[in-house]
Structure 1
Amino acid sequence: MLFRSFLALTSVVAVWSAAAAAETIKIGVTPGPHAQILEAVKPIAAKSGLDLQLIEFSDYVVPNAALDAGDIQANSFQNQPYLDNQKADRGYKIEQVGLTVNFPIGIYSRKHKSWTDLPDGAKVSIPNDPTNGGRALLLLRDKGAIKLKSDVGFKPTVIDITDNPKKLKFIEVDAAQAPRALDDVDAAVINTNYATQAGLDPVKDPILREDPKGPYVNLIAVRSADKDKPWVKILVDSYHSPGIKEFVLTKFKGAVLPSW
């Protein structure tokens, strides 16, 4: 009887010790695939003693501000050009610790079945932030719809357009509002996470789609001061596990691509 009591007490202590050892971090995500993938990562990280609390943000601006302020410990929603732009503009001490997935951006239309159907003077909405707006213009350039100055890098703006045969009229909107703009424009450039939230199929519905290769791979970011902490390695290793790669390929059917 005494031996059984000892075993029971040992079990209680072991459970208590494991709970006490678990570390909790808050990680910022945007709704849709980023949040869904991190939900799948949670139980894997938990096995290594890391409890992930997902904090959803509805735009691309606040997650980095929250991370820099220490309100969250990591975020997963952006690519390197966007992070570089935010750091240059706002002085954030944030850096990439692991690559995640790629979302080939697409151009959608409810009025036209193909890009060639767009009339001269068609209205095309593009994201109003420098990174995604530039990405939209690069997509249009690569598809032959416009020409840009040769030295624009990854962040061209509409003033860098040197040739616009269809005389397209570009309307800049917040990336999160792009699906709502569809009814008011001839075509809209929409990031994949916002497209899926709006019920669009990022593989079948775009009338033009970005090449999945390139610099726009998404990433996990943390504060520079935290990059070498043990929980960072647990987070990245959990994300990079074979089970998560299979989850991404099965769940999103080509709309989201693993990039590690």
Structure 2
Amino acid sequence: MEPLVPLAGAPQAPDINLFVLQTGRLPRIGDEVSPWQYRGWLLYQVQFADSHPQLPGRWTHYLRTLEAGRLLDEAIPRIEFELWNLDAGRKMLEHCLRLIHQEDYSWTSFNRLVDWLAWGLAVSREMPPLKEETYEALYRTFNLEPLLLNPHDYLGWMLAERHTNGWNPNAFFPTPHPVVECMTQMMLAGREASSGRDSRLETVLDPCVGTGRMLLHASNFSYCLYGCDIDPLVAMITRINGALYAPWLAFPLPGDVLGVEVPLPPPAPLSVPEEYKPENGETMFRCDDRGQGLLF
């Protein structure tokens, strides 16, 4: 997992919050500092779009909860994941991938797309090494609208489709959304009535989280979402999906807001190969790092 505190001597990203406070607007092309150089530039747009009448208002709900300092006396806004009307979002992301291909045509192009989104959504502290013209082309091409209006694990779909002659290099095959929805309904629906406790505090752990589909569907029931995976790429995609669709997955609510003690990360069930072990000695990749600072 990337370090949560910048290394000594590492260049500091410009502060988008300070820019907005000083200018009253978002960065744009033509400014001294390009918009894509700000960590979290895309997250601002996700939050602004949250007021759209066709969106469930999850970011608004999340920020109101943080402001109140406690859980609100209202249900978690429900999100429905789409199976249809996905072409616009898929084609837009494929177009973005082709833009990166023009710079470096290799399997790593998809990883760079993930890194670019993670930087823009403030779930990574590392700006991907792309050419300035590629950054601008991505900035001009990327469109949040189809992703937000038709929620889906788009990056998980793209990753599973990355194959040559039938070979899936990541051996990643996501569980279909309807199956995941059925599983979460069986596991979590009606828990409050049967257990007598606030079901929003039920802990959900997916030990092989993949791109986070189980936790995305579980976010309709719970704020306490955990996941781990041996592959850092899919763990990062889970964070991206959380920033888009379930804020408390990407940016977990602190214990004083939840009103309960936040449990420690569970131990990894299996040892992790040396080449995948983070430098800080952790034994698994977590998609909901409780130490991750909030952007706001």
TM-score range, shorter chain: under 0.3
Greater Rg by CA: 1
Q: TM-score, normalised by structure 2?
A: 0.25
Higher strand fraction: Structure 1 or Structure 2?
A: 1
Q: TM-score, normalised by structure 1?
A: 0.27
